[in-house]
Amino acid sequence: MSLLTCKDFLLALNEYLDETEDAALRREVEEHIEECPNCWVVFDTTKKTLQVFKGIQSQDIPEDVHRRLMERIHSRLMERRARAQANDKAGDKDEQERKQ
Amino acid sequence: MSQPQQRVGSDGDAELVSRVQQGDIEAFDKLVVKYEKKIFRLARNITSNQEDAEDVLQETFLKAYSHLGGFQGNSRFYTWLVRIAVNESLMKLRKRKSDRTVSMDEGVDTGEEIVVREVAVWEDNPEQRHSQTEIRAILDQAISSLKPALRTVFVLRDIEELSTEETAQLLGLSVPAVKSRLLRARLQLREKLTRFFKRKGDDVFAYL
């Protein structure tokens, strides 16, 4: 005899799908879905929902998106390097002036 | 959802980060190549828009580079990167929907009953019965129809496989709020997908 109500089952569904280590909760959920066909469908289709999402997500980044990203990063790096070199030169000049 | 995938690959990040901090540009390229795919996917899922996602991708790595000097290493580099990408993505959403406010606390945690409307058995292996392109379109449509507050939690927990705690910290939410939103998101997606994947002929089928 299952002790969970359908509402309890819904509230426990995530923990169950996320493979909770709470053995008592696992057992209660399993007993409930064995007896309640509606909740079994909800459990099964929610599990499949997650599977479909996980299965489809291994999409590669489009080549042109990757290329534009690298271009933008490198142009920013060049700007920074140029600025840093300009500052260094200015610094050297200051030092030379101080020496004189 | 046993072991989050990205944990496995985060080894060596600390070393790459410290090399970038010492001025090694190639080390930054390595971090970009390692995470660009994940960040692009995250941005696409949150913004539901290819163009916005590309902007988010670029801004995320440019900001990461500019602020890497201040990165303390007390969180994982990847989580730190995701935080930037989530903020950039939410900014895009706010800009696009300037007539509607997009906020992380849209009252989704109060007053809304958790409901299940449609109970129908799915066909076996729906992912094999439809083409990849078809499935992708169905999933894109389903995910973009969720409220941003639910969508963001679903993307971080179930697609990027961050832990509940990491997600809570990243979005500035409590752990119970993350759990409640994830349940709502999963159940709403289930309903949306049921329309496409339910077994034909089951429309009038009732469980007694």
- pLDDT over threshold 90, residue B54: yes
Average pLDDT, rounded, for chain A: 86
Tell me the pLDDT band of A71, cut-offs 50, 70 and 90.
very high
**What b-and-e string marks burial along B108-127, b requiring 16 or more CB atoms within 10 Å of the CB?**
bbeeeeeebeebbbbeeebe
Q: Residue A8's closest chain B neighbor by CA?
A: B114
Distance in angstroms (rounded) separating the CA atoms of residues B145 and B60: 25
Predicted pLDDT at B6: 42
Going A17 to A23 to A25 to A29, the CA torsion angle's sign is: positive
Contact (CB<8Å) A76/B62: yes
* Option in A42, A53, A70 nearest B119 (CB): A42
Query: Which pLDDT band, with edges at 50, 70 and 90, does A95 fall under?
Result: low
Please give the residue that has the higher pLDDT: either A82 or B200.
Answer: A82
Q: What's the rounded Cα separation, in Å, for the pair B198 and B145?
A: 19
How many of the other CB atoms lie within 10 Å of CB of A96? 9
Nearest CA in chain B to A13: B183
The reply to whether ipTM tops 0.85 is no
Among A8-12, A93-97, B106-110, top mean pLDDT goes to A8-12
The two structure tokens encoding residue A5? 């109500």
Domain hosting A30: range is 6-56
Chain A interface with B: residues with Cβ < 8 Å: 7, 10-11, 13-14, 17-19, 37-38, 41-42, 44-46, 48-57, 59-61, 65-66, 68-70, 72-73, 76-77
The CATH number given to B12-96 is: 1.10.1740.10
Nearest to A46 among B40, B61, B186 (CB): B186
Enter the tokens of residue B67: 């602020």
Question: Which of A21, A40, A53 is the best substitution to test chain B (most B C-beta atoms within 10 A)?
Answer: A53
Lowest mean pLDDT among A91-95, B4-8, B184-188, B203-207: B4-8
Is residue A18 domain-resident? yes
A26 lies in a domain? yes
> Looking at beta carbons, which residues of chain B come within 8 Å of A84?
none
A97: closest CA of chain B, how far (Å): 29
A35 Cα distance to chain centroid:
35
Q: Which residues, including other chains, have CB under 8 Å from residue B202's CB and lie 6 or more apart?
A: B120, B121
pLDDT for residue B60 is more than 80:
yes
Note whether residue A78 is domain-resident: no
Question: Who wins on pLDDT, B63 or A20?
Answer: B63
Inform me whether the pLDDT recorded for B142 exceeds 90: yes
In a domain, A34, yes or no: yes
Percent of chain B predicted with pLDDT > 70: 83
State how far the Cα of A45 lies from the Cα of B51, in Å rounded to an integer: 32
Residue A69 lies in a domain: no
CATH architecture of B126-197: Orthogonal Bundle (1.10)
From the list B100, B101, B68, the residue with the least C-alpha distance to B84 is B68
Q: Which residues contact A48 (CB under 8 A, 6 or more apart)?
A: B122, B126, B193, B197
**Which residue of chain B has the CA closest to A52?**
B127
What are the tens digits of pLDDT across the range A12-50? 999 999 988 789 999 999 999 999 999 999 999 999 999
Position A83 scores a pLDDT of 84
Angle at B3 between CA B1 and CA B8, to 5 degrees: 140
Task: Write down the pLDDT at residue B44.
Answer: 92
Q: What's the pLDDT score for residue B108?
A: 56
On the question of pLDDT at B208 being above 70, the answer is no
Q: Does residue A83 belong to any structural domain of this protein?
A: no
What distance in Å separates the CA atoms of residue B121 and residue A98, rounded to the nearest whole number? 83
Q: How many folded domains does chain A comprise? A: 1
| Three-state helix/strand/coil letters over B95-132 | HHCCCCCCCCCCCCCCCCCCCCCCCCCECCCHHHHCCH
Chain A residues lying within 8 Å of B158, measured CB to CB: 50, 53-54
B-chain residues near A72 (CB < 8 A)? 58, 62
What pLDDT does residue B123 have?
83
Question: Residue B42's closest chain A neighbor by CA?
Answer: A57
List chain B domain ranges.
Answer: 12-96, 126-197
Residue A11 lies in a domain: yes
User: CA of B49: how far to CAs of A62, A82, B24, B132, in Å?
Assistant: 14, 35, 33, 19
Residue B198 three-state SS: strand
Out of B28, B61, B135, name the one closest to residue A52 (CB): B135
- pLDDT > 90: percent of chain A: 54
Q: Does residue B9 carry a pLDDT above 70?
A: no
- Give the pLDDT of residue A16: 94
What pLDDT score does B113 carry?
A: 64
- For B151-166, letters b (16+ CB in 10 Å) and e give bbbbbbbbbbbbbbeb
DSSP string, A84-99: HHHHHHHHHHHHHHHH
- pLDDT category at B4 given cuts 50, 70, 90 is very low
